[in-house]
Amino acid sequence: MAGFRFSPRPNQAAAIHWRDWGEEPFAEARRQNKPVLLAISAVWCHWCHVMDETSYSVPEIIDAINERFIPIRVDTDARPDVNRRYNMGGWPSTAFLTPDGEILHGGTYMAPEVMYKHSLIVADMWRDKREELLGRLAENRAKEEQARAPKLGDLSPDIVESVGALVRGQYDPLHGGFGREPKFPQPFLLRFLLDEYRRHEQPELRAMATKTLTAMAAGGVFDRIEGGFFRYATMRDWNEPHYEKMLEDNAELLALYVDAHALFPDEGYDRVAREVVRWMDAALYQAETGLWSGSQDADEEYYALDAPSRANRGAPFVDRTLYTSPNALAAAACLRAGDVLRDAALRERGLRAVRAIESRMRGADGALHHVDDGSGRRLPDLLADVAAHLHALLDAGEPDAAAALASRMRERLEAPEGGFYDRPDEPAPGRLARRERPIEDNAAAASALLRLAAITGDDGWRESALRALRSFVGEYRQWGHFAASYADIVAAVLREPIAVVVVGPVEDRTAAALARAARLARDPDVFTQWLVPAERPAVLAARGFPPDRVAAYVCVGTACGAPLADEDSLLGELASARARIASPVA
């Protein structure tokens, strides 16, 4: 029972005979002909704690679960692959399953009377109407399989326009953000707005992005005492938040606010970005690992206090488990923030984090593991981890390491019809045996491959990216606003790629200034590579760049322009190059 984490407040949830996720509890369920109760929880989740303290602490419910079910408990952060297939709409997720892992019934938080009622009903139905249930589930599974088949198509501006219309339709003109309440920051929608504004400079997009970013920073969802953003607000006006803070959310918001500051320097977004960094440093950063902890717990009483009272009380619990994709996002955000805010120490922290992921989360065989909780790393080669770390490696100027990881991604995760599965093809129980192609992770992977192609000149990476994007043309509408990341990358691929190659020693100030200017280019679809002659002589020779001249080169496709020795010339040539080229459909 030591491996399970329950509410920090008094509860009896440990009296339930929880099993870890794996083949063994499903085999046990088959042997005993019992349904499975799957509880997906999180260490930071308020209502998960409440369910431990209430429903899972009632003796009659404990007895019913232990007698009638095989109970499995899963931490959503540690097993995002399980959560993707069994989440019932939030946390906690309560799923009643067949012994083969198909979903019979489920919901989120269940109060004691509801939990007791449903546990009896499901157990009785499994006993009395098993064949009928299995027949219905088989029909549903066949329909699912048909719906999951990729429907290939051509990429076009219509994709970007249709998703853009959906995002506009969900925008809240009164308080910013999307939808009503509860109100989540949804960084992927804000990223779409910012990138589209950088491409086309439509005032409407600027207004939507800035109103949302400003409203979030002014609302209760932002901790003005300790910094950082809470996970979401229960009110439409960004107030009355749920007080958990997540590394993943704050890393994405940090990247957004520094990019917004670069675009709109008079809005004060640099202050917000620094406050996010301050919280990440104080609450999550582990100097001994060079990485960040996963989350900080919710505590309504603590966050209602003023600053001196908080200091006297002690901060809420921090989950010190290391997760790869949130750390890769944080590393990339620090690298970006270091450039935009001219903070060399922050950029160095991002570089250190990239190196730490390489040394701590990569195996000798090249596998990139998802989690390290101090007892060893686990869960290799999830697409979300690989895609996020690819971007971090490219941001850190490590194209060789990125190419090696991308090769492994294609080998282990690429689907025959294009796109990438979320996990390797390995034996697994229940729905985990059916690999999925999540659109948001595929968008991130395709984006990384496009960057890699532009930087290395290897068009094979671009072809993989195009296959991935084309494989979603027939289904992206089904994903609703979650297709915003996909549409953002489609918009990028419909434009001719531009790369800036900087040649010069790593300690050269001119080379550093040119590289920073390229990284801060207003156009979101410009890729940067810094070639250090002492480290990359073969690459320089192959691409025809003189090793003894510090300069930047603007390359459209494989054609590179004249050497540029100062930032103004570089920015002018970038603007000129973008104006010269059309926007062909891929």
Q: Determine which of 12-16, 40-44, 110-114, 577-581 has the lowest per-residue pLDDT on average.
A: 577-581
Strands 526-531 and 498-503: parallel
DSSP character at residue 475? T
> What angle do the packed helices 130-148 and 112-128 form, to 10 degrees?
100
Q: Is 497 a residue whose pLDDT tops 90?
A: no
User: Residue 455, Cα to own-chain centre: how many angstroms?
Assistant: 23
Distance CA 400, CA 407 (A): 11
Q: Is 570 a residue whose pLDDT tops 90?
A: yes
Beta bridge pairs of residue 72? 19, 38
Token pair, residue 205, equals 């997009």
pLDDT score, position 282 = 97
Distance CA 250, CA 272 (A): 11
Q: Is 585 a residue whose pLDDT tops 70?
A: no
Report cis status (omega within 30 of 0) of the bond before 150.
no
CA torsion, ordered 47, 52, 55, 59, to nearest 10 deg: -170
Beta-carbon contacts of 555 under 8 Å, excluding residues fewer than 6 positions away, are 454, 498, 499, 500, 501, 561
DSSP 143-156: HHHHHHS-------
DSSP character at residue 44? T
pLDDT score, position 20 = 97
Distance CA 304, CA 50 (A): 19
pLDDT in tens, 39-91: 999 999 999 999 999 999 999 999 999 999 999 999 999 999 999 999 999 99
pLDDT band of 316, cuts 50, 70, 90: very high
> What angle do the packed helices 59-68 and 112-128 form, to 10 degrees?
20
What is the value of pTM for the model shown?
Answer: 0.96
Beta-carbon contacts of 207 under 8 Å, excluding residues fewer than 6 positions away, are none
pLDDT in tens, 253-292: 999 999 999 999 999 999 999 999 999 999 999 999 999 9
pLDDT in tens, 361-389: 999 999 999 999 988 899 999 999 999 99
Question: Percent of the chain having pLDDT more than 90?
Answer: 92
Distance CA 244, CA 83 (A): 19
Mean pLDDT of 17-43: 97
Rg (CA), the chain: 25
pLDDT score, position 42 = 96
Mean pLDDT of 465-470: 98
Which amino acid makes up residue 455?
I
Beta-carbon contacts of 179 under 8 Å, excluding residues fewer than 6 positions away, are 170, 172
- Here the contacts of 16-19 (C-beta below 8 Å, separation 24 or greater) are 16/56, 16/62, 16/65, 16/66, 16/71, 17/66, 17/71, 18/71, 18/72, 18/73, 19/70, 19/71, 19/72, 19/73
Contact assessment for residue 182 and residue 232, using Cβ atoms and an 8 Å cutoff: yes
DSSP character at residue 403? H
Contact assessment for residue 162 and residue 477, using Cβ atoms and an 8 Å cutoff: yes
Distance CA 515, CA 529 (A): 8
pLDDT band of 584, cuts 50, 70, 90: very low
pLDDT score, position 56 = 98
Helices and strands in the chain: count of H runs, count of E runs:
23, 18
pLDDT in tens, 318-356: 999 999 999 999 999 999 999 999 999 999 999 999 999
- Residues in the chain, overall count: 586
pLDDT score, position 144 = 83
pLDDT score, position 151 = 83
Which amino acid makes up residue 379?
L
pLDDT score, position 582 = 56
What string of H, E and C letters represents the secondary structure of 270-311? HHHHHHHHHHHHHHHEECCCCEECCEECCCHHHHCCCHHHHH
Q: Is 1 a residue whose pLDDT tops 60?
A: no
pLDDT score, position 182 = 96
Token pair, residue 544, equals 């025809």
Q: Is 586 a residue whose pLDDT tops 60?
A: no
Q: Is 21 a residue whose pLDDT tops 70?
A: yes
Give one word for 585, left, alpha or beta, with left for phi > 0 and alpha for psi -120 to 50.
Answer: beta
DSSP 333-381: HHHHHHHHTT-HHHHHHHHHHHHHHHHHHB-TTS-BEEEE-SS-EEEE-
pLDDT band of 150, cuts 50, 70, 90: confident
Beta-carbon contacts of 77 under 8 Å, excluding residues fewer than 6 positions away, are 42, 43, 294, 295, 319, 321, 323, 371
pLDDT band of 464, cuts 50, 70, 90: very high
pLDDT band of 2, cuts 50, 70, 90: very low
Contact assessment for residue 263 and residue 209, using Cβ atoms and an 8 Å cutoff: no
pLDDT score, position 360 = 96
DSSP character at residue 15? G
pLDDT score, position 142 = 86
Calculate the average pLDDT of the chain. 95
Reference 192, options 224, 168, 158; nearest CA is 168
Cα–Cα separations (whole angstroms), residue 282 to 277, 285, 313, 315 = 8, 7, 16, 10
Token pair, residue 569, equals 């010339």
Token pair, residue 368, equals 């990139």
pLDDT in tens, 153-188: 999 999 999 999 999 999 999 999 999 999 999 999
Give one word for 530, left, alpha or beta, with left for phi > 0 and alpha for psi -120 to 50.
Answer: beta
Instruction: For 86-119, give one letter per residue: b (16+ CB within 10 A) or e.
Output: bbbeebbbbbbbbbebbbbbbbbbbeeeebbebb
| Largest interatomic CA distance in the chain | 81
Contact assessment for residue 473 and residue 461, using Cβ atoms and an 8 Å cutoff: no
The residue assigned the tokens 């971007």 is: 391
